[in-house]
Structure 1
């Protein structure tokens, strides 16, 4: 929470709590969907010697999502998937540059 407030101050926003008010619950609910799934797979499917690396990778993906949400998203996983699908479709439609 403090990090978001510092970013709002540094960005010169009038209401430094606006982003928090708009995205907190969506981000919190996304985390409640993401992390239990990560830990379920971690303890049921991942071998013991790979668990730290797997959790680190999942943490990196979560941090990437948080950065995306801070910039353009609304704090939901759905918005991230829509953006990824849109960018992937744009990459397929665009001819390769020479």
Structure 2
């Protein structure tokens, strides 16, 4: 009897808090869902609890909760003020506007700031955006208009951030796959280059040793 009452009380308190603080609700949602997307991506690569990159999960948590949620909250508030009606026509309009404004901004921010959070340079972050933005935006423009049309036309404003955050779980996993795939490719290229360099050095050492032997033989004669 006590447990159900406690659960109901906690649910009531959460609803009260969430309704009073929609931004905080969105930040909490993203703090959980974004690292979850990162874990899904790593699991797809065959990793497990012993091999997960937990620092990567932490970066996704920080970026999702501290950057994406506040900017998305501001965007939702802005669009709700500009188009307060909730119907299909307005929903489609908002979704289309988002694809030429907030959408490119969000994708660019992801690749740029995630690269910086990894400790890489500003120039590398710029190159990351140039290489990966086109593919991500191409996929996003096919998916997000549908999601946002539903969001803007059917979901109450106070629940829109959470709705989008759930939908973005799959999107985050997709972005993480693009990000890490290229990182793996770069690592493989570096490994190949390192191997070639080592082979070249070994050849040079062998050549130098041969020259030394020839010189010694010539001097012995």
Q: Give the TM-score of the pair, scaled to structure 2.
A: 0.27
Give the TM-score of the pair, scaled to structure 1.
0.49
Judging by fraction of residues, say which structure has more helix.
2
Larger Rg: 2
